[in-house]
A and B are shown apart, each in its own frame.
Chain A
């Protein structure tokens, strides 16, 4: 539910109301003309009013839902190119299956790796619980080993990339204090300060959130001296099944210019993934039917 949608529906609401009053046709025509002329101005004014009415917490919550909870479930091919400070490259490719148990709440993820060949068949499963420790498992096919992973530091590298676990599964909005720094017609600039500074490596971070899609277009993390040292950017946003979806993104470590590029392909939402898919069965024998993207 973006602000655009809200406005569209209220615009229609006025027109329907007018039509129902069954006034003479001329008046209706004038009224319609008036509204159609005024609509852009009204929209812009109302958008200002509606968005200004959102406080920082509401914006962050909406952005979190947009970024991590689109649809009831989803599937995508994903790949990363990890480039270190010396230009050495590594890649990862995997398919992600996701199912939301509750919007903004519990989620289940299954990541099935296909590249590099050495990790092919490795499966990572997470039962994300924002109010509790996540349950995480890793399946190592060479040993047929289902390895449970202890709840670790969420701000450590995800499979060697510049992305952290938390960037992939979403940092809980409750972990930071949020404030609006500024806004213009198209985006908000927010500042976030951690409630438990000792639990994270940054002192604070800023996000630039698009007012239409509510997707963060840029996130910059600051160190203890206020220096920006880490940046996440959405490079490309596409509409998939009517849902704004980041399909290309980049994380840069500005201290040494190493970075990870991430790309998503063949994204689809609302597949009706069964709950039982996110179980030990899928670790051993990944569900071929649900993983097929074509």
Chain B
């Protein structure tokens, strides 16, 4: 009942927001009708006033409704949808001499988690200095590294709860509260991001997805798993540059493993300390793009790897290649290896029945991107297949641009594998079909 009121309230807000801009919408459609009958010069004349004004404050809005339905009839999930939400985003971009402010207000009514939220999704202050330094303070998205949906040195929070249910790709990278200093110089550049509060990955806890739990099999835990919140700050840094067509980066990180692994006496999950360093290159080869990336994760609290409850140190390797193989058709391939170090120590100290990672976990991906109808239609299919785990994830979407304002997206997330406890296979019951309609306006 409470939920219905919330929807009603949210709808009112959205309708008001829409009405406040309806004048411009009506004007625009009237103009477009005329355009059909007019000649080029007239069309351009009518267009004349339609240049975006250059006022310092630019405002735009986006409203979307998304639904993802579970395809397996015998799924253990409590609900038969993974996504049933109405979301609006208003973006405010203020440019002043010498600095800028960016703010995103998000309203969300989520029928899967019975939740409604009003968030300052992003809120950042940006100050460029003449000496080549940019300062960004506030809630912001930070991304680096060369992988395509595989992450090695990008240790900024990922929202895995938004990854398997058809939300837009951008939700995988939620904004984090950070101070970011970037310095750009002639031969190399430098990036430093300090996060006062450790921002963990949003891992699956049971509020939406089912997954495998040792001793319980595939379940959707209720109540959801409890995770202890952040403990301290984290810091990411990289130096990067370009020599001709070759882009290089070296990375360092001080913080925590991004997924919880430590089980406290009260059964609460928490995070263990981790430092990392790594490097990547990206260059053009044979008409395509080749990238390679390496990272080392050092388990600070258990360097010898003798505590089975704390993640061991890891080496991660990635090689990728992407090429447009035909007009409007791009093929991307990736091979990834995650090697758990001190594996014998882990084996020697494990508990009976403890689920251990493989010493060498491999992942391959194939992505085909295709554009059609004058790029109105964008099809993307990406297959993740792990040869070591023998499980897979098929991630497909088609996006149709109907107009400057309207967009439709439909797609499929299919997960499965040979054994139920491996990472992707454990999510098999969440396989879904999704649909999203999005309206954006100024």
Contacts and interface: CB of A to CB of B under 8 A. Distances in A.
Interface of A: 77, 79, 81-82, 84, 87-91, 93, 114-118, 120-121, 133, 135, 140-146, 148-153, 155-157, 159-160, 162, 235, 248, 250, 258, 261, 263, 265, 276, 279-281, 284-285, 287-288, 292-294
A281 B133 CA distance: 9
Contacts of A265: 51
Given A152-B324, A285-B126, A261 B95 contact: no
Interface residues of B, number: 64
Given A118-B407, A143-B169, A150 B289 contact: yes
Interface string B46-72: 010001101000101110000000000
B170 interface: yes
A121 to B, nearest CB: 8
A143 B143 contact: yes
Nearest to B332: A150
Nearest to A252: B40
A150 B328 CA distance: 12
A281 B134 contact: yes
A114 B61 CA distance: 14
A143 B170 contact: yes
27 contacts: A79-B51, A84-B374, A84-B376, A87-B36, A89-B32, A89-B35, A90-B404, A93-B51, A114-B52, A117-B60, A117-B61, A117-B62, A121-B93, A142-B168, A143-B141, A144-B142, A144-B143, A144-B173, A148-B282, A150-B322, A152-B330, A160-B401, A261-B40, A263-B44, A276-B132, A280-B189, A288-B128
A293 B52 CA distance: 12
A148 B249 CA distance: 14
Contacts of A150: 284, 287-289, 322-324, 330
B41 A235 contact: yes
B141 A144 contact: yes
Given A142-B170, A143-B169, A157-B374, A151 B405 contact: no
Interface centre among A114, A155, A292 (most CB of B within 10 A): A114
Given A90-B401, A293-B54, 4 more contacts: A117-B91, A135-B245, A144-B142, A149-B289
B402 to A, nearest CB: 8
A293 B407 CA distance: 31
Contacts, number: 144
Interface centre among A77, A142, A248 (most CB of B within 10 A): A142
Interface of B: 32, 35-36, 40-41, 43-44, 47, 51-52, 54, 58, 60-62, 91, 93, 95, 100, 126, 128, 132, 134, 140-144, 168-170, 172-173, 182, 184, 186, 189, 240, 245, 247, 282, 284, 287-289, 322-324, 327-328, 330, 371, 374-376, 401-405, 407, 440-442
B327 A153 contact: yes
B92 to A, nearest CB: 12
Contacts of A135: 245, 284
A27 to B, nearest CB: 54
